[in-house]
C-alpha cells in the first residue's frame, strides 16, 4: 500500500503493508491526496538481517539509543535500539529522497516513527524548517513554545497553562515543526508528540519561545541575541556536520532569533510560574 502525508506544508509518501498503516493512527490527520509536494518516499519492510555500517555518532536517552553511521557506499544509516535491543534501521539514499526502513519485529511503530521524523528533518533542513524538541501551547491565536532538556518540565509547564490560563490548547508536546514563511515564524502540529497523544494538524504564528530551568523561585527575563541563538540550537534536530544541512539549520536559527522573542524562565512547577510566564510573554510578543 502507498499513502501520502503533508506536515507543515511538506509532503512525504510511505510504502508499507496494510498492517503497518493500521498502527500509524496518529498520521491520519495529516493524510493528503495531493502528492505534488512530495519530498521523500519511505519504504518499510521486515528484515532481521543486520545492516553493515561504520558508526559516526551515538545518542542515548531514557533507554533509547540511536546510532548514526555510513554504509561502505556512503549511504546514511540510523540504527534504533530499545534497552539495547535492535529494533530496526533506516537507510537513506545519497540525496535523501528515498529511505528504506527495516524492522526486526520488535517495536515496529517505534522504528517507523523515528525513521519518518529523521527523514523529514533531513530533507526540510534547507527549507527554513526545523523539527524542535519542545512542548507548545496556543492562546488567543498565537503559539508559545517551551524548550529545555528532558526532565526540565516542558510538559508540566504546558499543563499548567492548560489548567490556569483560560483559552489555552495543547498544540504538540514533544516534536512540533517550525517554518519561516515570508519572514513570519509559524509552528505546526505533527504526528510526533512523545508520550502525550497530541497529533493535531494545526498551525499558529509564534508569539514567544521560552527556555525553562527548574529553580526555587519564579523569574523571567528576555534573552539577548547570542543566548537566544544557543537556546534554539540546542532544541533543533539535524546532522549539522553535513554542510548543506548545517547551513540550512543555521539560517533558520538566525531568522527565528531575529523575528521571535526568546525568554528564560526559572521556575517552580506551580500556578504562579504559568501566570508569570503568560503575563510577560503574551503581552510583549
Instruction: Give me the CATH number covering residue 143.
Output: 3.40.50
User: Do 274 and 158 sit in the same domain of this protein?
Assistant: yes
User: Do 155 and 274 sit in the same domain of this protein?
Assistant: yes
User: Do 276 and 234 sit in the same domain of this protein?
Assistant: yes
- Asked which of 95, 124, 153 is the last residue of a domain, the reply is 124
User: Do 238 and 192 sit in the same domain of this protein?
Assistant: yes
User: Do 167 and 268 sit in the same domain of this protein?
Assistant: yes
User: Do 81 and 148 sit in the same domain of this protein?
Assistant: no
User: Do 14 and 138 sit in the same domain of this protein?
Assistant: no
User: Do 216 and 274 sit in the same domain of this protein?
Assistant: yes
User: Do 139 and 12 sit in the same domain of this protein?
Assistant: no
User: Do 177 and 258 sit in the same domain of this protein?
Assistant: yes
CA distances from 211 to 89, 134, 141 (A): 33, 9, 21
Contacts of 11 (CB under 8 A, 6+ apart): 4, 5, 32, 34, 35, 36, 37, 38, 39
Q: Do the Cβ atoms of 182 and 136 come closer than 8 Å?
A: no
Q: Do the Cβ atoms of 179 and 255 come closer than 8 Å?
A: no
- How many domains does the chain contain in total? 2
- Asked which of 61, 90, 124 is the last residue of a domain, the reply is 124
pLDDT digits (tens, 9 = 90+) for 75-124: 999 999 998 899 999 999 999 999 999 999 878 999 999 999 999 999 99
Residue 283 is predicted with a pLDDT of 75
Local structure of residue 28 (DSSP, 8 states): G
Structural domain for 29, as ranges: 2-124
Name the residue with cell 501551547.
Answer: 137
User: Do 164 and 30 sit in the same domain of this protein?
Assistant: no
User: Do 120 and 143 sit in the same domain of this protein?
Assistant: no
Residue 165 is predicted with a pLDDT of 97
pLDDT digits (tens, 9 = 90+) for 157-179: 999 999 999 999 999 999 999 99
pLDDT digits (tens, 9 = 90+) for 44-55: 999 989 999 999
Residue 285 is predicted with a pLDDT of 46
Give the dihedral of Cα atoms 219, 158, 148, 134; nearest 10 deg: -140
- Asked which of 76, 97, 124 is the last residue of a domain, the reply is 124
Say if strands 85-92 and 10-15 run parallel, antiparallel, or are unpaired.
unpaired
Positions of the chain with pLDDT lower than 70, given as ranges: 284-285
Amino acid at each position: 500500500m502507498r499513502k501520502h502525508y503533508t506536515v507543515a506544508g511538506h509532503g512525504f509518501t510511505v510504502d508499507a503493508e496494510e498492517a503497518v498503516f493500521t498502527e500509524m493512527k496518529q498520521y491520519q490527520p495529516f493524510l493528503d491526496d495531493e502528492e505534488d509536494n512530495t519530498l521523500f518516499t519511505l519504504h518499510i519492510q521486515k528484515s532481521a538481517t543486520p545492516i553493515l555500517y561504520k558508526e559516526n555518532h551515538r545518542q542515548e536517552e531514557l533507554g533509547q539509543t540511536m546510532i548514526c553511521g555510513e554504509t561502505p557506499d556512503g549511504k546514511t544509516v540510523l540504527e534504533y535500539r530499545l534497552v539495547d535491543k535492535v529494533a530496526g534501521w533506516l537507510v537513506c539514499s545519497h540525496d535523501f529522497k528515498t529511505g528504506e526502513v527495516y524492522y526486526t519485529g520488535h517495536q515496529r511503530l517505534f522504528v517507523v516513527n523515528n525513521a519518518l521524523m529523521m527523514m523529514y528533518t533531513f530533507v526540510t533542513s534547507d527549507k527554513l524548517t526545523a523539527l524542535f524538541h519542545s512542548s507548545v501551547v496556543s492562546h488567543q491565536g498565537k503559539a508559545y513554545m517551551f524548550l529545555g532538556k528532558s526532565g526540565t518540565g516542558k510538559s508540566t509547564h504546558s499543563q499548567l497553562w492548560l489548567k490556569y490560563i483560560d483559552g489555552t490548547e495543547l498544540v504538540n508536546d514533544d516534536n512540533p515543526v517550525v517554518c519561516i514563511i515570508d519572514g513570519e515564524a509559524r509552528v505546526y502540529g505533527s504526528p510526533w508528540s512523545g508520550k502525550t497523544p497530541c497529533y493535531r494538524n494545526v498551525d499558529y504564528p509564534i508569539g514567544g519561545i521560552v527556555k525553562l530551568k527548574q529553580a526555587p523561585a519564579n523569574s523571567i527575563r528576555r534573552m539577548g541575541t547570542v543566548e537566544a541563538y544557543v537556546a534554539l540550537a540546542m532544541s533543533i534536530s539535524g546532522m549539522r556536520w553535513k554542510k548543506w544541512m548545517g547551513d540550512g539549520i543555521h539560517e533558520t536559527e538566525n531568522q527565528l532569533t531575529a523575528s521571535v522573542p526568546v525568554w528564560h524562565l526559572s521556575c517552580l512547577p506551580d500556578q504562579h510560574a504559568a501566570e508569570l510566564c503568560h503575563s510577560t510573554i503574551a503581552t510583549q510578543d
